Structure 1
Amino acid sequence: MTTLVVIQARMGSSRLPGKVMMPLAGRPLLQRMVAQVAAARSPFKLTVATTVEPADDPIAALCAAIGVRCFRGHPTDLLDRHYHAAVLAGADIVVKIPSDCPLIDPDVIDRVLAFFRSTEGRYDYVSNLHPATYPDGNDVEVMTIAALEQAFREARRPLEREHTTPFLWDNPGRFRLGNVTWETRLDASMSHRFTVDYREDYDFVKAVYEALSTPQNPIVRLGPILELLAARPDIMAINARYAGVNWYRHHLGELRTVSARETRVPGDTA
């Protein structure tokens, strides 16, 4: 069984353009992200999926420089991009990880993949997001190529094409869904934000890398991050106003399986 991990990346972020090439501890954010994912112990192929737009040429150039496969596809239809990247790689299992998660813990990737593989044939889709419990920015979604192909062929709503997987997880009557919860039994999904969407998010991640990453040990992991934040509330406060903010807030009337409790608007900490 061939497993393909797809890191989706583009330069054209509306809130923080060019974020994937912004520097983190002397390397572009995307390169740090690739290193975090590649540190997982599970066997897989790795592809960065970007667009055919000229603005994304720097992403392709970086991938060539660091020896990572790069697939270039549809600019806005991420479902199309993921599916064709998977077909080209001959994947049986596809893992979706967004490029704005440069603090993703490799052990979390291993844990979600291990669950999927240990239950082989039981699930079409497994993630750690439905419901989410890990700190935001540890997003891992695993699906069979058959499920991804079905979504590719049948999904029609714009949010299903733009976000790749809602056709699967928002249709629990059609697909066999599994979820991996944080082994601590805690829920930090709305209180701890490790993803990069706003300038404050980048400043937060930059502060974490500067505190924890070294040339001898460049990989950052969840445990030390949480210890750092407990000791340095000033770092935790950098992007606190965005804790719990995610794309769900724009689609609460369209998504069947997501409630208002799973998202916030910027600045709302109620």
Structure 2
Amino acid sequence: MPTPHIVVIVQARMSSSRLPGKVLLPILGRPLLARMLERLNKCQTPFTTVVATSTDSADDCIEEFCRAEHVAVYRGSLTDCLDRHEQIAQQWNADLAVKIPSDCPLIDPRIVDSVLRFYLAHQEEYDFVSNLHPATWPDGNDVEIMTRSCLHRTWAEAAKPLEREHTTPYIWDSAPEQFRIGNVAWSTGLDYSMSHRFTIDYPEDYEFIRTVYEELYPANPTFSCEDILDLLNRRPDIYQLNARFAGVNWYRHHLSELNTVSADQTKQLLTT
């Protein structure tokens, strides 16, 4: 089969309620988004990367960053991220659209490659492949692959606000009746999705991510997920920086609306 044109879509915005401007916070002298894109550039699978931001004036600085870095950027709806993905897939003529949110600055390019390789080896069998349903890797290694037709159908049919905001719930919540979905699990057999948090949503997450970069990047800019876990074994104080948020994700607000997510796949945030 011909190699499909893959477009990786990195959705980014400045208006985070818990940590405003998080995507441009400094990590070793560079914006967090730059560090994440640097990691994606280490992937072996060829793809085009497009940053998907909004037309809100607060996101002007994201467009300015992308222009300065010669990174493709699209601006669309602030709340309808599904529409952003659909418009990018059309404009960049994607055969496959890959959702990787900008709050994953520690994402391991090897994991991205492994999920893409799985899809490419089974592209006649699936409309959607991810490593999230169920998740096994530490939170913050999110990869979701949609065929162009799967994305377009989702864009046309998804109606709930959560389906528009989070892009893919209509797909995996409608399977297997509507879509053929596949999942790639961590080959170790471990499940750290609820115990280890490599994503950013709170100030403590930023401290964790900044510290991991400071500890690992100077010696090895392409440090792996395993390198991070080794560091945390040696330095449990770093693990503790954001440990209380491990397992806390957006699912917790929508358990009554989601068909394929249960309470054991999220945690409620405990205030201290």
TM-score by length of 2: 0.97
Q: Quick one: distance in 1 between partners of 2:67 and 2:187?
A: 37
Question: Hey, what's the Cα distance between the residues in 2 that align with 1:33 and 1:65?
Answer: 16
Equivalent residue in structure 1 for 2:210, among 199, 206, 209 = 206
Which one of 103, 106, 114 corresponds to residue 106 of structure 2? 103
| Structure 2: stretches of 5+ with no match in the other structure | none
Match of 2:120 in 1: 117
Q: Answer yes or no: is the 8 Å Cα contact 1:3–1:94 preserved in 2.
A: yes
After TM superposition, give the deviation of residue 223 of structure 1 in Å: 1.3
Alignment partner of 1:192 is 2:203: no
2:179 to 175, 179, 187: 175
Task: Give the structure 1 partner of residue 148 of structure 2.
Answer: 145
Q: Using the aligned pairs only, state the percent identity.
A: 56
Correspondence 1:17-96 to 2 at 5 A:
17-96=20-99
Does structure 2 retain, via aligned residues, the 8 Å contact 1:35–1:219?
Answer: no
AA at the equivalent of 2:186: W
The SS at the match of 2:74 is strand
In 2, the alpha carbon distance for the partners of 1:21 and 1:30 equals 6
Please state how far the C-alpha of 1:219 moved relative to its aligned partner.
2.8
How many residues were matched structurally?
A: 267
Instruction: Map Cα deviations across residues 62-119 of structure 1 (whole Å, 9 max, x no partner).
Output: 1111111011111110000111011100001010000000000000000000000000
Q: For 1:149 and 1:49, how far apart are their aligned partners in 2?
A: 17
Change (3 A) 1:253 1:78: same
* TM-score where L is the length of structure 1: 0.97
User: Residue deviations 1:201-247, cap 9 Å, x none?
Assistant: 01000010000012x74233111101000000000000000000000
Residue equivalent to 1:263: 266
The CA distance in 1 between the partners of 2:245 and 2:32, in whole Å, is 20
1:164 and 2:167 equivalent?
A: yes
**Partner-residue secondary structure (3-state), 2:194:** coil
2:12 is aligned, of 9, 13, 29, to 9
Which whole-Å CA distance do the structure 2 matches of 1:177 and 1:142 have between them? 10
* Aligned pairs (5 A) from 1:180-259: 180-214=184-218, 217-259=220-262
In the alignment, the residues of structure 1 paired with residue 6 and residue 249 of structure 2 have an alpha-carbon distance, to the nearest angstrom, of: 27
The answer to whether the 8 A contact 1:136-1:194 is kept is: yes
**Structure 1 counterpart SS, 2:100:** strand
Distance 1:218 1:114 in 2: 23
Superposed CA RMSD in Å reads 1.0
Distance 1:267 1:209 in 2: 27
Conserved? CA contact 1:102–1:195, under 8 Å: yes
Counterparts of 2:209 and 2:196, CA distance in 1 = 12
| Partner-residue secondary structure (3-state), 1:201 | helix
User: Counterpart amino acid of 1:184?
Assistant: T
Selected match of 2:136 from 133, 138, 141: 133
